[in-house]
């Protein structure tokens, strides 16, 4: 009887704690999602662009005109153009930087050679320098090479986004370290060259991490707006999406650009978020080990 009573009071206490916890989590979730709700709501805002319209969290009138205008009203800033620019740049830089990362991590993880340790130390020292320090210097260098004018700008952007990939090998190397060395040895005994071992044994085993790497590299140009802005300057025909959106906010006071920024932001955020979720899936898969017993 006494025992029963005790357990019921414990139970009651637990239920109260549960309720508090869930209410707390609900509040947290709302706080976390609210800005995105605001973003979507504003992207659908219709009506005239009166300044007091800003005072409403949810717009008085809904419209999809902002989205349509993004694609039709391309006189000042052409969203489709920017989207295409970013797509091309990110595909190219993704291919290059994935190759760089794979090559470096393979050499760091599977091979023994003289400059291995010095290279790793050098890479670490480089990453300790703030990236923005060399940014203007890189710009001067690209300018001297004639890559900051006209049609060369996309090339300059591709270089910027992919050239540093040689230092970003830690995650991939860590993953390759988990692949048993015995597999390589077996391949050598069967007469495979190291290139064959790399392409036919290590690479297929790296698949989950490879997908993670590819998508992460692909997302880079969609999110950076500092480096790209420095290189594109006022050449709007070469703008990437992120510079374009950033510029829209500075144009805000002149037209209905804030709502259009929101619309563009939604259109970029959706694919990037989906890609991000995919990377997480593959990352977790990778973290569970390379070779399963």
Nearest approach in angstroms of CB 206 to other proteins is 14
Nearest approach in angstroms of CB 1 to other proteins is 25
Whole-number Å distance between alpha carbons of 179 and 110: 9
Provide the β-strand partners of residue 45: 62
One of 86, 90, 93, 162 touching other proteins (CB under 8 A): 162
62 binds other proteins (CB under 8 A): no
Whole-number Å distance between alpha carbons of 249 and 112: 52
One of 44, 176, 209, 245 touching other proteins (CB under 8 A): 245
One of 95, 120, 135, 183 touching other proteins (CB under 8 A): 135
One of 8, 38, 80, 186 touching other proteins (CB under 8 A): 38
Whole-number Å distance between alpha carbons of 154 and 41: 34
Range 69-98, binding other proteins (CB under 8 A): none
Contacts of 160 (CB under 8 A, 6+ apart): 138, 142, 227, 228, 231
Residue 140 tokens read as 């001067």
146 binds other proteins (CB under 8 A): no
131 binds other proteins (CB under 8 A): yes
One of 70, 89, 104, 153 touching other proteins (CB under 8 A): 104
One of 8, 16, 36, 177 touching other proteins (CB under 8 A): 36
Half-sphere exposure of 256 (CA within 13 A, CB side): 19
Whole-number Å distance between alpha carbons of 10 and 228: 59
CB atoms near residue 35 (< 10 Å): 9
Residue 201 tokens read as 């044994």
Q: Which stretch binds other proteins (CB under 8 A): 26-34, 60-68, 73-81, 208-216?
A: 26-34
Looking at the Cβ atoms of 205 and 244, the one nearer to other proteins is 244
159 binds other proteins (CB under 8 A): yes
One of 166, 174, 178, 236 touching other proteins (CB under 8 A): 166
CA of 138: how far to CAs of 49, 90, 278, in Å? 41, 19, 33
Looking at the Cβ atoms of 76 and 125, the one nearer to other proteins is 125
């Amino acid at each position: 009887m006494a025992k029963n009573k005790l357990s019921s009071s414990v139970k009651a206490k637990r239920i109260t704690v549960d309720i508090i916890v869930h209410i707390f989590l609900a509040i947290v979730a709302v706080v976390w999602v609210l800005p995105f709700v605001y973003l979507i709501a504003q992207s659908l805002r219709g009506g005239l662009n009166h300044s007091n319209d800003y005072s409403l969290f949810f717009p008085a009138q809904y419209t999809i005109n902002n989205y349509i205008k993004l694609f039709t009203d391309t006189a000042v800033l052409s969203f489709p153009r920017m989207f295409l620019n970013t797509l091309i740049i990110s595909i190219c830089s993704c291919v290059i930087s994935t190759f760089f990362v794979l090559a470096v991590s393979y050499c760091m993880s599977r091979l023994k050679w003289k400059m291995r340790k010095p290279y790793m130390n050098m890479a670490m020292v480089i990453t300790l320098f703030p990236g923005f320090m060399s940014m203007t210097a890189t710009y001067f260098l690209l300018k001297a090479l004639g890559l900051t004018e006209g049609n060369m700008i996309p090339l300059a952007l591709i270089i910027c986004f992919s050239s540093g990939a040689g230092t970003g090998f830690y995650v991939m190397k860590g993953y390759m370290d988990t692949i048993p060395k015995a597999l390589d040895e077996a391949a050598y005994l069967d007469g495979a060259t190291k290139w064959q071992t790399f392409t036919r044994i290590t690479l297929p085993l790296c698949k989950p991490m490879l997908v993670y790497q590819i998508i992460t590299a692909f997302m880079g140009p969609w999110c950076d707006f500092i480096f790209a802005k420095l290189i594109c300057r006022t050449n709007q025909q070469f703008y990437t999406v992120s510079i374009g959106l950033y510029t829209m906010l500075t144009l805000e006071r002149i037209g209905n650009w804030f709502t259009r920024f929101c619309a563009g932001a939604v259109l970029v955020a959706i694919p990037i978020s989906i890609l991000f979720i995919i990377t997480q899936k593959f990352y977790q898969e990778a973290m569970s080990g390379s070779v399963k017993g």
